[in-house]
Structure 1
């Protein structure tokens, strides 16, 4: 990197992790090949929606792939789309939903790139039935650090394919991918809302839903927990279950595919000064209001992407946490690890760190990806002001609880976990390292996350 070239300030979506780096925005495959061959070290970046430092440089050049965003082909008869990795999932939805097709897995936002969805192996609220995003990738083209391009699939270099699925952008640059979409009759969703009165009841409702989800990949479920309610009410929740609406579910005057609104700015508003507006009193008020105002009901009709991608209605959420930003701590534990959920919530509340937002979801069985996050069981995600984590590492005790239970943290969200725990959380790490070294023999792929957690051998 030329020291005289200007660098760009970058951050994770949570705004708690920051780096400066030389950013290149190549458009063509040839530009990408030249860039990767000329840079001693490369960090791949898509839409910048990783909460932590997964798309931030440790050193070297950042390759921003958002201009590499074209639709290559779409087989409307069979629902197979081939698309460049820098396209947003929202771009895919924009082009396919009016034709009756939808990605079978959407996370909380459609503003991530296809490449980012693969590299993080994102999951939605229907994981027990639909699995994660990587399970619907038929093949992908990978630009390796030596400038060669190889096609990977579950049948063609499966080790390389599954090392790239969930591989955090460290095996090479995903150029394009073929993704199998699912049929939908409408662009609407029907939602049923429950309200529980304790964490035990929340777990029971979600466990019952998981049994149905395993047989029905269109069923989505999530619990929004109140972690400020005292005593036995801790973990009471609003539990939403929704599914794509059938044509017969719509009133006569409702068009089958609603008009999509503009996605707005991907940057959001500037961070509020100082600590922002997220602190104990506001968290308590918001948690209580969410539970009390969410009236249980069945049959609510709302746009499908509104139901599946709630983060896109809160684009400026990180700004509310002030200049320090937020940390989302997300972990998964096996199905018999429910006690860890209560222990984690009690630990945070006991340290006067009640989460500003807490979600609980079911997970089905994971993929063959050694670094893919989902395991059969539960995943809990908590949003915390980053300023609470500065003085020491108050989440270390949670890390140990999770690791002892056979669980793991989500690398796409992480910014705090101790590197020594990663081999316990991801027991196939050495297998991944061997494949990563084969695909990246020149040791050019890196990131701040990779260096912090010592992922690379």
Structure 2
């Protein structure tokens, strides 16, 4: 069979701050995939394209789009083990397994990413203190190397390669399919408890008390929205949401245990012209309104999917930031570095960069994966108009690195590359394994080139 010529497409990350025009191949079967890999000297692996920055964008060469390889190969309903192709969306998995009493143990803010992307980014959810990140639940994976060989990897079978691929940002090879251990659930609902706080100290205190419960219960999810525009002592006041799995006893008699899936199709809304709708004035007004209109409340029912995946109700969010898009800057800090959270919020405010969105979560434990993002402690994510940034976050990079923290590679677009070995002290070990898996030096990405991950 003759390999078809790739077609050229305009690509971007979800934040729309970085754009590339690139040849794209979409092979659907193993033979065509191996042939495509061996035919190209430089390849970027791409899933659903939901990384905010340039993690799934090329810096030359071609893009290998995996979304056509999206089959669920098998599901053991007794043990909850799913074998699935890497191009399947989390949404596809949830559609097939939730009504059977099983769920993915880790889901980020969207179910519109691929299984391969979830593994390559080692994504985390709002339940990290109890569940860890996505890679912890991968039993094994099949990896296509750059020399055309397919190998099966697990924690017990070439562990170095397995953990280098988890969180490895698609730079060790093409994940073909994987076995994922799912988690039992009683229903497709959660119970939400909400607390409104009046200061950053109160927010942090509330989250610390909830983290202790999360460590004992992998189904307990916690996230805080912070008002980064509030003045003085009110800075960092917020809304702390805790969700936990609802049992059938929590449901009114008229409510079905598993709600009918009503996932709307993703719509690629065009970016608004110029600066869009996000400005200092609109951020201030929206932040004040959100805090004042929210109230503390307990025992409210919500669907599991709506609670865990708020981004899927925000198709227009990147478009609102205008033609230059948004930057999400997310970093993690050790547990005793809470002062850095306050320092970053103060820095952004005094430099005219109050975030349009700021969310805080707790992390529970480290991973064996050298490039995995979560470390024990805290993670703050802030959404900023890309037009505001222009290198102005370098002092924040230094604050984070100096505190023993790190940025999230899957969302990065701006970090100082000199600080990456400081933030990820096992980078050199990962690079040795990456070179072993990629003897042909085919794998690349905009992120890898910008941050020097492969050098």
For residues 448 and 56 of structure 1, what CA distance do their matches in structure 2 show?
Answer: 5
For residues 264 and 131 of structure 2, what CA distance do their matches in structure 1 show?
Answer: 26
Partner of 1:279: 279
Could you tell me which runs of 5 or more consecutive residues in structure 1 were left unpaired when the two chains were aligned: none
For residues 310 and 297 of structure 2, what CA distance do their matches in structure 1 show?
Answer: 19
Partner of 2:34: 33
Deviation at 1:20, TM superposition (A): 1.2
Deviation at 1:263, TM superposition (A): 2.9
Partner of 2:51: 50
For residues 257 and 294 of structure 1, what CA distance do their matches in structure 2 show?
Answer: 28
Q: Deviations for 1:383-432, whole angstroms, at most 9, x for unmatched residues?
A: 00000023xx1100000000000000000000000110000000000000
Partner of 1:188: 189
Deviation at 1:54, TM superposition (A): 0.1
> Under a length normalisation based on structure 2, what TM-score does the superposition of the two structures give?
0.98
Partner of 1:121: 122
**Match status 1:223 vs 2:224:** yes
RMSD between aligned residues: 1.0
Q: Deviations for 1:180-220, whole angstroms, at most 9, x for unmatched residues?
A: 00000111111000000000110110011111111111110
Partner of 1:343: 343
Q: Deviations for 1:337-394, whole angstroms, at most 9, x for unmatched residues?
A: 100000000000000110000000000112100000000000000000000023xx11
Partner of 1:321: 321
Partner of 1:399: 397
For residues 7 and 186 of structure 1, what CA distance do their matches in structure 2 show?
Answer: 44
Partner of 1:94: 95
Distance 1:189 1:5, change over 3 A: closer
For residues 321 and 360 of structure 2, what CA distance do their matches in structure 1 show?
Answer: 22
8 Å Cα contact 1:132-1:366 kept in structure 2: no
For residues 5 and 112 of structure 1, what CA distance do their matches in structure 2 show?
Answer: 23
Deviation at 1:262, TM superposition (A): 3.1
Partner of 1:67: 68
For residues 7 and 69 of structure 2, what CA distance do their matches in structure 1 show?
Answer: 23
For residues 326 and 218 of structure 1, what CA distance do their matches in structure 2 show?
Answer: 31
Partner of 1:426: 424
Partner of 1:361: 361
**Match status 1:436 vs 2:434:** yes
Describe how 1:57-456 pairs up with structure 2 within 5 A.
57-265=58-266, 267-390=267-390, 393-456=391-454
Describe how 1:12-27 pairs up with structure 2 within 5 A.
12-27=13-28
Deviation at 1:5, TM superposition (A): 6.6
- List structure 1 segments (4+ residues) > 2 angstroms apart after TM superposition: 4-7
> Under a length normalisation based on structure 1, what TM-score does the superposition of the two structures give?
0.98
Q: Deviations for 1:87-138, whole angstroms, at most 9, x for unmatched residues?
A: 0000000000000000000000000000000000000000000000000000
- Between the two proteins, the alignment pairs up a number of residues equal to 452
Could you tell me which runs of 5 or more consecutive residues in structure 2 were left unpaired when the two chains were aligned: none
Give 3-state SS (helix, strand or coil) of 2:319's partner: helix
8 Å Cα contact 2:140-2:152 kept in structure 1: yes
For residues 125 and 315 of structure 2, what CA distance do their matches in structure 1 show?
Answer: 18
For residues 120 and 221 of structure 1, what CA distance do their matches in structure 2 show?
Answer: 21
8 Å Cα contact 2:18-2:53 kept in structure 1: yes
Q: Deviations for 1:131-185, whole angstroms, at most 9, x for unmatched residues?
A: 0000000000000000000000000000000000000000000000000000001
